[in-house]
Amino acid sequence: MRRLTGRILNIHPSLLPLFPGLHTHQRAIDAGMRVSGCTVHYVTAGMDEGPVIAQSVVPILPDDTEDSLAARVLTVEHRTYPLALKLVAEGKVHMRTDGTVERAGFFGDPSATLVSA
Protein backbone atom coordinates (compact mmCIF):
# COMPACT_ATOMS: atom_id res chain seq x y z
CA MET A 1 0.00 0.00 0.00
CA ARG A 2 2.82 2.40 0.81
CA ARG A 3 4.03 2.63 -2.80
CA LEU A 4 0.50 3.50 -3.96
CA THR A 5 -0.09 6.18 -1.32
CA GLY A 6 -0.98 9.43 -3.04
CA ARG A 7 -1.79 7.68 -6.32
CA ILE A 8 -5.33 6.41 -5.63
CA LEU A 9 -8.42 8.52 -5.00
CA ASN A 10 -11.53 7.46 -3.10
CA ILE A 11 -14.94 9.06 -2.81
CA HIS A 12 -16.68 8.63 0.53
CA PRO A 13 -20.32 9.50 1.26
CA SER A 14 -19.74 11.75 4.27
CA LEU A 15 -17.88 14.89 5.19
CA LEU A 16 -14.74 13.26 6.49
CA PRO A 17 -13.40 13.07 9.10
CA LEU A 18 -17.01 12.59 10.24
CA PHE A 19 -18.50 9.12 9.79
CA PRO A 20 -15.77 7.04 8.16
CA GLY A 21 -16.66 3.49 7.21
CA LEU A 22 -20.14 2.13 6.57
CA HIS A 23 -23.71 3.36 7.17
CA THR A 24 -22.63 6.99 6.92
CA HIS A 25 -26.05 8.40 6.04
CA GLN A 26 -27.91 6.78 8.92
CA ARG A 27 -25.13 7.71 11.32
CA ALA A 28 -25.35 11.37 10.23
CA ILE A 29 -29.14 11.37 10.71
CA ASP A 30 -28.87 9.65 14.10
CA ALA A 31 -26.26 12.19 15.22
CA GLY A 32 -28.65 15.05 14.47
CA MET A 33 -26.43 16.54 11.77
CA ARG A 34 -27.93 19.32 9.65
CA VAL A 35 -25.63 18.74 6.67
CA SER A 36 -23.90 15.81 5.06
CA GLY A 37 -22.09 15.34 1.79
CA CYS A 38 -19.20 13.58 0.16
CA THR A 39 -15.43 13.69 0.32
CA VAL A 40 -12.85 12.85 -2.33
CA HIS A 41 -9.55 12.00 -0.70
CA TYR A 42 -6.25 10.31 -1.35
CA VAL A 43 -6.15 6.69 -0.19
CA THR A 44 -3.71 5.93 2.61
CA ALA A 45 -3.25 2.90 4.86
CA GLY A 46 -5.98 4.04 7.29
CA MET A 47 -9.62 3.62 6.27
CA ASP A 48 -11.04 6.95 5.05
CA GLU A 49 -8.14 8.84 6.63
CA GLY A 50 -6.34 10.19 3.56
CA PRO A 51 -5.87 13.89 2.85
CA VAL A 52 -8.98 15.59 1.49
CA ILE A 53 -9.03 16.88 -2.08
CA ALA A 54 -12.63 18.12 -2.31
CA GLN A 55 -15.93 18.00 -0.44
CA SER A 56 -19.51 18.83 -1.37
CA VAL A 57 -22.30 19.57 1.07
CA VAL A 58 -26.03 18.78 1.04
CA PRO A 59 -28.66 19.57 3.68
CA ILE A 60 -30.17 16.86 5.85
CA LEU A 61 -33.91 17.44 5.77
CA PRO A 62 -36.19 16.76 8.76
CA ASP A 63 -37.96 13.88 6.99
CA ASP A 64 -34.83 12.31 5.49
CA THR A 65 -34.32 8.58 5.59
CA GLU A 66 -31.05 6.80 4.97
CA ASP A 67 -32.15 6.20 1.37
CA SER A 68 -33.31 9.75 0.62
CA LEU A 69 -30.11 11.22 2.03
CA ALA A 70 -28.02 8.68 0.12
CA ALA A 71 -29.74 9.70 -3.13
CA ARG A 72 -29.05 13.39 -2.50
CA VAL A 73 -25.40 12.73 -1.65
CA LEU A 74 -24.99 10.53 -4.74
CA THR A 75 -26.03 13.48 -6.90
CA VAL A 76 -23.15 15.63 -5.60
CA GLU A 77 -20.75 12.68 -5.72
CA HIS A 78 -21.28 12.60 -9.50
CA ARG A 79 -20.13 16.24 -9.71
CA THR A 80 -17.41 16.19 -7.07
CA TYR A 81 -15.40 13.15 -8.19
CA PRO A 82 -14.84 14.43 -11.76
CA LEU A 83 -13.85 17.83 -10.34
CA ALA A 84 -11.29 16.21 -8.04
CA LEU A 85 -9.94 14.02 -10.85
CA LYS A 86 -9.55 17.09 -13.05
CA LEU A 87 -7.67 18.98 -10.34
CA VAL A 88 -5.27 16.07 -9.85
CA ALA A 89 -4.83 15.41 -13.60
CA GLU A 90 -4.05 19.08 -14.23
CA GLY A 91 -1.48 19.11 -11.43
CA LYS A 92 -3.46 21.66 -9.42
CA VAL A 93 -3.66 19.30 -6.44
CA HIS A 94 -1.16 16.73 -5.26
CA MET A 95 -0.24 14.87 -2.11
CA ARG A 96 3.04 15.94 -0.53
CA THR A 97 5.45 13.44 0.96
CA ASP A 98 4.39 14.60 4.44
CA GLY A 99 0.81 13.42 3.74
CA THR A 100 -0.75 16.85 3.26
CA VAL A 101 -2.41 18.17 0.12
CA GLU A 102 -0.97 21.06 -1.85
CA ARG A 103 -3.27 23.13 -4.05
CA ALA A 104 -1.70 25.33 -6.72
CA GLY A 105 -3.40 28.47 -7.96
CA PHE A 106 -6.03 28.84 -5.22
CA PHE A 107 -6.60 32.09 -3.33
CA GLY A 108 -6.83 32.18 0.43
CA ASP A 109 -5.58 29.40 2.67
CA PRO A 110 -3.93 26.78 0.42
CA SER A 111 -4.54 24.09 3.04
CA ALA A 112 -8.30 24.77 3.18
CA THR A 113 -10.62 22.05 1.95
CA LEU A 114 -12.32 22.73 -1.35
CA VAL A 115 -16.07 22.74 -0.90
CA SER A 116 -18.51 22.64 -3.79
CA ALA A 117 -22.22 23.04 -3.07
Catalytic machinery residues: 12
For residue 29, give the nearest of 68, 56, 74, 57 by alpha carbon. 68
Alpha-carbon dihedral 9, 113, 99, 4, rounded to 10 degrees: 10
In angstroms, rounded to a whole number, what is the distance separating the alpha carbons of residues 80 and 75? 9
Q: 30: left (phi > 0), else alpha (psi -120 to 50), else beta?
A: alpha
